[in-house]
Structure 1
Amino acid sequence: MRAHIDEIVFDCADPGTLARFWSTLLGGSPVERDPDWSYIDPPGFARIAFQRVPEGKTAKNRLHLDLDAGDIGTATAEAVRLGASRVGGIVSQKAGDFQVLLDPEGNEFCFVQPAPPDGQD
């Protein structure tokens, strides 16, 4: 048996707000199934759902999304305008550049710019 990803679910306090935030970044229309469950179907990706839970976020996520949006600075400015916050500055490494951000409820995600393959600068 081989499983497939049906959806990725974020626990949160306000599913509708996160669905609207993420739909602006990734595409897809936010759907509020009920006050405790919203989702988006970004083009070319698995459904991302948002489920209301009673407890708040208390630690760093063990899983996060890396988003390639082209220009990291422009993407970051737009995400901040929508309610995200930056964590530090743009980091450059051999594998590429990235900017860590938090969505409106503090879930980590990154805008990334992978390095070109070796010999293709």
Structure 2
Amino acid sequence: MELAMVLDCADPERLAAFWAGALGYRRTGGDPPYVGLADPAGRRPDLLLQRVPEPRSGKNRMHLDLRVDALQPHLDRLLADGARRLRGPFDDRGWLTAVLADPEGNEFCLIVPPR
């Protein structure tokens, strides 16, 4: 069994550029309505962006956590690439956390684990 993540979106091309940069992934192609992204080292799950007709509504039922060793440089880079800060940074039981949204409003967290 292999895990792959699928993110519904309005514009997979636009989000492919954002998420490839955010994750350090490469584009693997895809036929409409899909655009695939993969970890070049093959260690992390693929991300498939799927065009859907309906707009996003409400809070995500599932979101991505991006664990990093230092918050500020990654936060600055993601904000410059089109992310939006929703909350934080704040201490979440020892985990330094910032809640962000991608260019279409899909929420994700940028997290520094406790040392």
Answer whether TM exceeds 0.5 for this pair: yes
Task: Determine helix, strand or coil for the equivalent of 1:83.
Answer: coil
Displacement of 1:74 in angstroms is: 1.4
Q: TM-score, normalised by structure 2?
A: 0.90
- Does 1:13 find its partner at 2:10? yes
1:29 aligns with 2:26: yes
User: Counterpart of 1:114?
Assistant: 113
Which one-letter code corresponds to 1:89 in the other structure?
A: G
1:37-94 C-alpha deviation (Å, 9 max, x unpaired): 1011024211100000000001110111111222212111110111100012201132
Cα distance in 1 for residues equivalent to 2:98 and 2:57: 21
Q: Give the equivalent residue in structure 2 for 1:55.
A: 54
CA-based RMSD of the aligned residues comes to 1.4
Divergent runs of 4+, >2 A? none
- Whole-angstrom distance in 1 between the partners of 2:28 and 2:12: 10
Instruction: Give the number of aligned pairs.
Output: 113
Rg (Cα) greater in structure: 1
Cα distance in 2 between the residues matched to 1:11 and 1:106: 11
Give the AA of the match of 1:79: L
1:119 match: none
Which has the higher mean CA deviation after the structures are superposed, 64-73 or 53-62? 64-73
| TM-superposed deviation, 1:20 | 1.2
Task: Give structure 2 stretches of 5+ with no counterpart.
Answer: none
For structure 1, the 5+ residue unaligned runs are: 117-121
Q: Do 1:19 and 1:31's aligned partners in 2 also have CA atoms closer than 8 Å? A: no
Give the conservation status (yes or no) of the 8 Å contact 1:10–1:49: yes
CA distance in 2, matches of 1:16, 1:98: 28
The 1-side partners of 2:62 and 2:29 are apart by 24
Q: Normalization by structure 1: what TM-score?
A: 0.86
Aligned mates of 1:109, 1:103 — CA distance in 2: 8
Maintained 8 Å contact 1:39/1:49: yes
Kept in 1, the 8 Å contact 2:66–2:110? The answer is yes
The 8 Å contact of residues 69 and 113 in structure 2, kept in 1 or not, is answered as no
Displacement after TM superposition at 1:112 (Å):
0.4
